[in-house]
Homo-oligomer: A and B are copies of this chain.
Amino acid sequence: MTIANNKPPISDKQHIIDERRDRIIAAARICFRQHGFHGAGMAEIAALSHLSVGQIYRYFTNKESIIEEVVHRIVKQRVRLMLDNDNDLDRIADDLAGNSLWGGGGEEHINQVLMLEVAAEATRNPRIAQILADEDAELFQEGCTMLLQIYPEMKYDEAARLAELLAVLSEGTTLRVLTRQQHGKHGELQKIYRQIFATVFPTRLKTGSD
């Protein structure tokens, strides 16, 4: 694990490590996106991140640990988005109707594709299944926390049930959007989601703007 003969100061070393890990993750996202996990090779990830394969193994022990970091960063970003949410359930309904709880744009599209690839891989790779379960548990926990902030009097079991409903709607929306035509029109789904939320969430925070 020697990095150089003339060792730079610790802060510089950490900076180099962080920068290289970022570059590897960015390259891996592109390779996984284009070829799937099995089609993406360490040599290609190395070439795209302008590092040698040997250098990559200094930062990640194998392809699975790169996947782990990719998933970890996506989930960290989603948790941040959830914390930034101003606890507005109508906005959540509108975001679902608008195709994603997690914002739009190219990066989110790639996040969705990568998470779908992770899910498919998890069905035959216990290590990936464990990574996905761990990260999902964290996201789910944050969802429950968000709901308990909106409804301090809510029991945990009810918050968990509603968080699970949000998870089903979010994952289902991802699959529908990514792989199929959207048959329903945006505005109509918006109305239906607001209707559902008004029904299943307690009334006190309904904004009445439906």
- Nearest Cβ in chain B — how far from A125, in angstroms? 10
Q: Complex formed: what's the CA distance from A172 to B166 in Å?
A: 10
What residues of B have a CB within 8 angstroms of the CB of A67 in the complex? none
How many residues of A are in contact with the other chain, CB < 8 A? 53
Please determine whether A140 and B171 come into contact, CB atoms closer than 8 angstroms. no
Q: A175-197 toward B: CB 8 Å interface, digit per residue (1/0)?
A: 11011111111001100100110
Please determine whether B167 and A136 come into contact, CB atoms closer than 8 angstroms. no
Instruction: Answer whether residue A49 sits at the interface, using C-beta atoms and an 8 A cutoff.
Output: no
Please determine whether A116 and B123 come into contact, CB atoms closer than 8 angstroms. yes
Instruction: Answer whether residue A154 sits at the interface, using C-beta atoms and an 8 A cutoff.
Output: no
- Nearest Cβ in chain B — how far from A113, in angstroms? 5
Interface residues of A in 135-182 (CB under 8 A from B): 136-137, 140, 157, 160-165, 167-176, 178-182
Please determine whether B176 and A189 come into contact, CB atoms closer than 8 angstroms. no
Q: Complex formed: what's the CA distance from A173 to B174 in Å?
A: 12
Binding site for B on A (CB under 8 A): 33-36, 38-39, 113, 116-117, 119-124, 129, 132-133, 136-137, 140, 157, 160-165, 167-176, 178-185, 188-189, 192, 195-196, 199-200
Given contact pairs A35-B124, A133-B179, A167-B183, enumerate 9 new A-B contacts (beta carbons under 8 Å).
A33-B124, A34-B124, A36-B124, A113-B123, A116-B119, A129-B179, A160-B183, A162-B192, A168-B169
A-B contact pairs, 28 of them (CB 8 A): A36-B38, A38-B38, A116-B120, A116-B123, A117-B123, A119-B175, A122-B178, A132-B179, A132-B180, A133-B181, A136-B179, A136-B180, A160-B183, A160-B184, A161-B184, A161-B192, A163-B183, A163-B184, A164-B189, A168-B176, A169-B169, A169-B172, A171-B171, A171-B172, A172-B173, A172-B175, A196-B196, A196-B199
